[in-house]
Every structure is written in C-alpha cells, then in structure tokens.
Amino acid sequence: MPSEPAQSFEELFRSLEEAVAKLEEGGLPLEQALSLYEDGMRLAQRCQEMLDQAELRVTRLQEAFAAYREEGANRSLREEIGPYPEEDEPLAEG
Amino acid sequence: MIDVYSVSQLATYLRELLETDLHLADLWVEGEISNLSRSTAGHTYFTLKDGFAQMRCVMFRRQSGAGIALENGAQVVAHGRVSFFEKRGELQLNVDFLQPAGVGIWQAQFERLKAQLEEEGLFEPSRKRPLPSFPRAIGVVTSPTGAVFHDICQIVGRRWPLAEIVLAPTPVQGDQAAPGIVDALAALNREPDIDVIILARGGGSMEELWPFNEEMVARAVYASRVPVVSAVGHETDYTIADYVADRRAPTPSAAAELVAPDRADIRRRLAGHQLAMAGWLAGQVARHHAEVERLALHLRRAGPDVHPQQERIAALLRSAMASVAQALTARRERVNGCAIQLRSLDPRSTLARGYAVVQRRADGRVVAKVGHVKARDRLDVQVSDGNFPAEVSKQYAF
C-alpha cells in the first residue's frame, strides 16, 4: 500500500466509533447529525473493504546488520518473501 | 635502576590487576561457609573453604542471598568478583549472590540474573506497555527456518492480514544467538512503522533456550521502543526475556494471536456499528417525520421546494436498509438454500416435465383412476403453464 497515503485502519475505525458515540449521545442539530451518519456509514464501508481486500505482506530485513553501523544508514532494505506458502505447503523444519 | 614501590602502590597495582581480569570479575565458586559474622553496618563476612583451600568473602548489605539463611557449615554456590582489600592486604571474593549448593549452575545463574534485574526495575509492571489494537507492522525476531515463523505468518494471515510481518532473522540457539537477538531487536527498532515485536523460539532444552536468559537479551528487550511479546519454548518454560517483555505468551502461536486482532470480531463490531447507526436514523426519521411534514406544508406555502430534503432522507433510509440487509445476508443465504431444496419437491416441477393434473369439473376431485370418470364428464386439465377444459369421450382401463 505504498501508493496510498490513506488513513490507517485504526484511524478510520476510531473515527467511526466516535461518530457512533456522538450520534447515540444525541443533542446535535439534525443537519449535523445526518452528515455524521453519512460519514459513519462511509467509514464503516471503507473499514469493511480494507478487511475484505487485505493480503498479508511478509518481508525480511536484509542480513548484514553490520551495514547499519558502518554506513550509518537509518533504514534497512526489506525484501519481500512471497507469495507466502499456503497451509498445505509447510516450510521445512529447521 | 631498581624501582622501589610503596606498599600502597603495590596494593593498588594488585587490585587493578585483579579487577581488570574479566574471568575474575564474574565467577561462581562452590564451598562451605565458616567464620560467619555480620558487621554493624549490615555487611556479612565469611570464609568459603573446601578440603584444601579457603577464601575470604564479603557480601555487602544490599546484595540478596536469594533468601537463603546463611549459617556456618552450609554448602553454597557463590557468585561474585575477586578483589584485593588494600587496607588489610587480603584477597577477597565480593559476593553478590548465593545459592545452596546442589542447585544446578544454570538454575543458579538464572536466579542470580533474575534477582539482579528485578532489583534494577526491569520487570516493573508499571513499565509494561499495552499492545497496539490494530498493528500495522509486526516485527518477528526468530529463526528464518523452522515452524515458528511459518506458524506466526499463518495465524496473522488468517486473523489480521492488514498487517505486514517483518522478519529479523537470527539464530535462536548457540553462541551466536544472544548477540543475534540483540541485533535483530535493534534493527527492528530502527524501522519506523513497526509497532510491536514478537520474540519467539520453539521448544527446547534449558540449554537450548539459554540465550533468552542472557543479560544482553534482557537489556535489549527492555530498551525496545515498541512493546515486545515473548514466546519462548513451551508453556511451562519461563525465561528472563519473558519477565522483561511487555507481554509473555505461552507459545509462538499464542503470541501471534495476542498481537493480531481477529478480523471476524472486527467485522462483527463494524456490523454492530452499522446497525446502531441505521437504528439511530430510523429513530430520527420517526421523530422528525411529523415535523418535516409540518415544515413541508409551511414551506410549500412559502414557496421553496422541499423536494431535495425529502430525497436525501429517502436516500439515507435506503442506505440504512441496505446495511441492515447486509447484516442479514448470511441468514438469507441459508434460507435460499432451503428454498432450492423445497422447489425440487414442488408439484409444479413435475408438471414441467410433461405430466398433467386432471380434475372433475363438478367437484374438483383429482382423477387418478379410470373409474373416477364416466363418458361426457367435464374435466379440467392442469399443465405446467395453465389449464384447459376437456370432456371424457370413452373410458379405457389398462
């Protein structure tokens, strides 16, 4: 998801919970409450989509931790391991 | 030129010589306690001896004795460092930990480090940090081969595939393990998006699990910027790393379950929120219905068109209904399954295959036998797409 600077699931979910709490608390002008409702439904939809579309990414820090110290790099490279084997292809015991 | 030293210089030289020897700075000695005495300051002095030799020992007040009662004649294993007490010109062992002899040395080392780190506050419950509710990137410190990493990936993939798993590979037994674990923890801590780390190893003997009892590993866990969940060996194995970690899981699989929320639970919570909002909207609509009507009348009289508001409310209601419907989809699917089964029993499907139902017009009775009709009886014949009248001309029995 590098191309997506979108909000994290946690942020979306928290906004949704806030919207629901505010609605249930009541006391908002109808217009405001309705747009809160619309936002809430959109957030819930977005959350469901994220849950449906998610695919586990498995990466591995490249060896040579020593490179950190020598080159003073502050971020290592991650190499993708994948596609990750399914249930019926167990890794070799080690 | 021959140097002449003062006694002080010699004593200092000896002390420095002894104290810079790494082996003498960290050793275990077994022997019998004798000449036990306590100073008013609370320090304890005694001699450790065996059949051939003896050594003066001091244990300063704040050092624990692992709760054992010191007495002359007791056989003990002492940990400490060798020093030279200049004032009295004596070599002595500064003891910081004592165990009754007979306890395995691994166990003694374990207890010593545990007591020391506990006193330093590394196990403080107040320091334990909560795990993230929805982790974005989960660091895993373990061996790249073997079942542990595979199991963790399986479980996280099933429960919370929104996360990324980042493996920091390291050996988990042998001499390279402790420094490897320290490096792996540090490397993961340099990745800005990692928000929790699992430190895991499968089951093994106490010796195989030993790296997780090393002081450097304990300190690296303590130094971690993000919470660490330890999962070393089987449920009954406790390591020092377990005490320092923010959470201890009984097994690596349990650690994965602890770290990854269950997608199905979150789905249910989302559906609950959607239903709550739909319910709220229905309530609002009911409460405001009369008022909207009244306002609509006023507005209609006043001129402006209220159509858009009505449209919007209708649209919102539709979306509310849709989300309720979504929550009921599973149940509906089950009902559909039953319907298909029922349909196969429906007489209409028999008609569709070319059979007909024949009834007497007079009383509606179904004609199943030749004897049910006589000539010129009027009949109704029902086929798959309708019916038509008929009349009996003759009867034939098979």
Residues B54-84 have pLDDT tens digits of 999 998 876 655 556 778 888 888 899 999 8
Is some CB atom of chain A closer than 8 A to the CB atom of B190? yes
Interface test with A, best of B140, B150, B198, B318 (most A CBs within 10 A): B150
Confidence of residue B351 (pLDDT cuts 50, 70, 90): confident
Name the token pair of B262.
């269950």
| pLDDT tens by residue, B233-289 | 888 888 999 999 999 999 999 999 999 999 999 999 998 888 888 888 877 777 767
Average pLDDT, whole number, for chain A? 73
Q: Give the per-residue pLDDT at B177.
A: 93
- Do A20 and B276 make contact, defined as CB atoms within 8 angstroms? yes
Rounded to an integer, what distance in angstroms lies between the CA atom of residue B215 and that of residue B49?
29
Q: Give the per-residue pLDDT at A93.
A: 41
In chain A, residues with a C-beta closer than 8 Å to the C-beta of B133 are 10
Instruction: Name the residue of chain B whose CA is nearest to A29's CA.
Output: B284
Q: Which helix (H) or strand (E) segment is B360 a member of?
A: strand B357-360
In chain A, residues with a C-beta closer than 8 Å to the C-beta of B154 are 87
Q: Measured between CB atoms, which of A8, A16, A50 is closest to B273?
A: A16
- Do B277 and A57 make contact, defined as CB atoms within 8 angstroms? no
In chain A, residues with a C-beta closer than 8 Å to the C-beta of B171 are none
> Can you give the pTM of this predicted structure?
0.64
Interface test with A, best of B270, B313, B323 (most A CBs within 10 A): B270
Is some CB atom of chain B closer than 8 A to the CB atom of A90? yes
Average pLDDT, whole number, for chain B? 85
Q: Give the per-residue pLDDT at B67.
A: 55
Instruction: Name the residue of chain A whose CA is nearest to B291's CA.
Output: A30
| pLDDT tens by residue, B94-117 | 998 888 887 777 877 888 899 889
Confidence of residue B93 (pLDDT cuts 50, 70, 90): very high
Q: How distant is the Cα of A3 from the closest Cα of chain B, in angstroms? A: 15
Mean pLDDT of the region B381-397 = 84
In this predicted structure, the answer to whether residue A83 has a pLDDT above a threshold of 70 is: no
Confidence of residue B340 (pLDDT cuts 50, 70, 90): low
Rounded to an integer, what distance in angstroms lies between the CA atom of residue B215 and that of residue B209?
13
Q: Give the per-residue pLDDT at B1.
A: 73
Is some CB atom of chain A closer than 8 A to the CB atom of B163? yes
In this predicted structure, the answer to whether residue A73 has a pLDDT above a threshold of 50 is: no
Q: How distant is the Cα of A68 from the closest Cα of chain B, in angstroms? A: 8
Q: Give the per-residue pLDDT at B282.
A: 78
Q: Measured between CB atoms, which of B144, B277, B320 is closest to A20?
A: B277
On whether ipTM exceeds 0.95, the answer is: no
- Do A56 and B149 make contact, defined as CB atoms within 8 angstroms? no
Q: How distant is the Cα of B335 from the closest Cα of chain A, in angstroms? A: 24
Mean pLDDT of the region B286-296 = 72
In chain A, residues with a C-beta closer than 8 Å to the C-beta of B290 are none
Q: Give the per-residue pLDDT at A2.
A: 46
Q: Which of B89-93, B167-171, B297-301 has the lowest mean pLDDT?
A: B297-301
- Per-residue DSSP letters for B5-24? --HHHHHHHHHHHHHT-TTT
Q: Give the per-residue pLDDT at A87.
A: 46
Confidence of residue A88 (pLDDT cuts 50, 70, 90): very low
Give the residue among B165, B256, B170, B153 at the shortest CA–CA distance from B214: B170
In this predicted structure, the answer to whether residue B43 has a pLDDT above a threshold of 90 is: no
Is some CB atom of chain B closer than 8 A to the CB atom of A23? yes
Mean pLDDT of the region A62-89 = 53
| pLDDT tens by residue, B141-181 | 999 888 899 999 999 999 999 999 999 999 998 889 999 99
Q: Measured between CB atoms, which of A10, A17, A34 is closest to B134?
A: A10
| pLDDT tens by residue, B111-146 | 889 988 998 999 999 999 999 999 999 999 999 888
| pLDDT tens by residue, A10-24 | 999 999 999 988 888
Rounded to an integer, what distance in angstroms lies between the CA atom of residue B233 and that of residue B215?
18
Q: Which of A3-7, B31-35, B203-207, B381-385 has the lowest mean pLDDT?
A: A3-7
Is some CB atom of chain B closer than 8 A to the CB atom of A67? no
| List of long-range contacts for B32-39, beta carbons under 8 Å, 24+ apart | B32/B73, B32/B74, B32/B75, B32/B76, B33/B70, B33/B71, B33/B72, B33/B73, B33/B74, B33/B75, B33/B76, B34/B72, B34/B73, B35/B72, B36/B70, B36/B71, B36/B72
Q: pLDDT > 90: what percent of chain A?
A: 15
**Chain pair A-B, CB pairs under 8 angstroms:** 127
Q: Measured between CB atoms, which of B153, B162, B280 is closest to A9?
A: B162
